[in-house]
Structure 1
Amino acid sequence: MIRAVVFDVGECLVDETREYGTWADWLGVPRHTFAAMFGAVIAQGRDYRDVFQEFEPGFDLHEQRQARADVGQPEHFDESDLYDDVRPALAQLRADGLWLGIAGNQTVRAGGILRDLFTDDVDLIGTSDDWGASKPDLLFFERVAEVVPYEPGEILYVGDRLENDVKPAIAAGMPTALIHRGPWATIQWNSDDAKRLPTLRIDSLGELSEQIAKLNEQGH
């Protein structure tokens, strides 16, 4: 039985197009060039942070985040960056009686933004900075299991990346849903792992309510 649903943030709830565009601007790189390099790095199975190294060797993402904040250009997202299906899906899942959470690799600042955006929509919001553990480390998902009041096998983790979301969540004993959007899922969607590993494959968060109900019926 699925009793709880926990969501990743970037490219699951939040469309990061604007955010990566501002990083291209910060680096002084055309946005389409930055996006092309981003896709190439992902397709090669490398860490997305390697993108910054390609344009500026030695680039320190933590330091540059602070540098942006210091000049009034901090990383930012708001209601307009949420995917259109987010609010309706959360409302439906809540109506279905499911426990809901948000947990992703996010900074303290991003965690504050998430809490402002989803104050009444979910039961808990946790970030890698809060927990001192980041995906794909298994410790991150152990933290998820600690804060959700159900067993790991009853927690559906929803994300857009095989390496960061699906594989470590499975290792932690959780069922998973891979959502088909954003650069990672788009590039990985037709791979063998993307076809066989997730419990669910969805094109929209709006599919979750019905798909979870079907899983739970099968569980009986």
Structure 2
Amino acid sequence: MIRTVVLDIGETLTRDDRYWASWGDWLGIPRHTLSALVGAVVVHGRDNADAIRLLRPDIDISAEYAAREAAGLGERLDETDLYEDVRPALAALRAAGVRVVIAGNQSARMGELLRALALPADLVVTSGEWGVAKPARAFFEHVLAVSECAAEATLYVGDHPVNDIHPARAAGLRTAHLRRGPWGHWWADDPAVRVAADWSINSLAELPDIVKAQE
């Protein structure tokens, strides 16, 4: 039985369009160029920030992030950044008595912005707030601490094999790989990902039925 569903954030709940567009605008890089390089690092299994480093090898990303915030051009999030299936799926899970937790690799500021959207979730927390990021095992130890149930009764949902599926499975959680965003689509049919994921899904709308089938 699945008692808790934990969901990744970027390209699981929220589109990354605004994120990458804002970085392109800030650095004076054409949006299409940056997006294409994001695709390139995805294919090679590299960190997404490497897309920026390919264009600005000496960049201090943390310093640039702080400069953007100081200039009033930092992180933004509103209803238009959510995928259409997010609110209905989360609401259906809670209606079924499932604990819903949102936990992903994002800044503390993004945690504040997500909570301001009042999503149908029991808890919203980010790696910036925990002080540890995926794929570190400590992140998933935090996940289990807030899931309020055993690992085998906790389902982690995400699009990224390296950050989500493989480490969640290694921590003993059930896993659902979402075919969404560049990572989700590119790695969806990879044999290792298929083996590591208990379920491969195309929409969060599939989650309530998965939970029901495990009763």
Aligned to 1:82: 82
Any gaps of 5 or more consecutive residues in structure 1? none
Match of 1:21? 21
Q: How far does residue 48 in structure 1 lie from its aligned partner after superposition? A: 1.0
Distance apart, 1:17 and its partner CA? 0.9
* Mapped contact 2:12–2:158 kept (Cα < 8 A): yes
Residue in structure 2 matched with residue 145 of structure 1 by the alignment = 144
Q: Residues 77 and 114 of structure 2 are in contact (CA less than 8 Å); yes or no, is this contact kept in structure 1?
A: no
State yes or no: 1:127 paired with 2:126. Answer: yes
Summarize deviations over 1:13-61 as a string: whole Å, max 9, x none: 0011121111111121111111111101110111111111111112122
* Offset at residue 106 of structure 1 (A): 1.1
Instruction: Please say if 1:173 is aligned against 2:133.
Output: no
The CA distance in 2 between the partners of 1:196 and 1:101, in whole Å, is: 24
Deviations 1:119-168 (A, max 9, x none): 6x111112112211100000000011112210111110000000000011
Residue type of the alignment partner of 1:50: D
Aligned-partner Cα distance in 2 for 1:41–1:149: 36
Aligned to 1:46: 46
Which residue number corresponds to residue 184 of structure 1? 183
What letter is aligned with 1:88? P
Instruction: Give the Å deviation of 1:118.
Output: 2.8
Return the offset for 1:175.
Answer: 0.2
**Residues in 1 aligned to 2:108 and 2:175: alpha-carbon distance in whole angstroms:** 26
Residue 194 (structure 1) shift: 2.4
* Corresponding position of 1:163: 162
User: How high is the sequence identity, in percent, across the aligned residues?
Assistant: 45
CA contact (8 A) 1:19 1:77 kept: no
What is the identity, as a one-letter code, of the residue corresponding to 1:213? K
How far apart are the structure 1 equivalents of 2:141 and 2:58? Answer: 32
What does residue 7 of structure 1 align with?
Answer: 7
- Normalised to the residue count of structure 1, the TM-score between the two structures is 0.95
- Check conservation: 1:4, 1:98, Cα contact below 8 A: yes
Q: Which runs of 4+ in 1 moved over 6 A?
A: none
Matched, 1:211 2:210: yes
d(CA) in 2 for partners of 1:130 and 1:32?
31
Q: Whole-Å Cα distance in 2 between the matches of residues 150 and 118 of structure 1? A: 24
RMSD: 1.0
> 1:68 matched to which residue of 2?
68
What code does the residue aligned with 1:87 have?
R
Is 1:110 matched with 2:145? no
Give the TM-score normalised by structure 2: 0.97
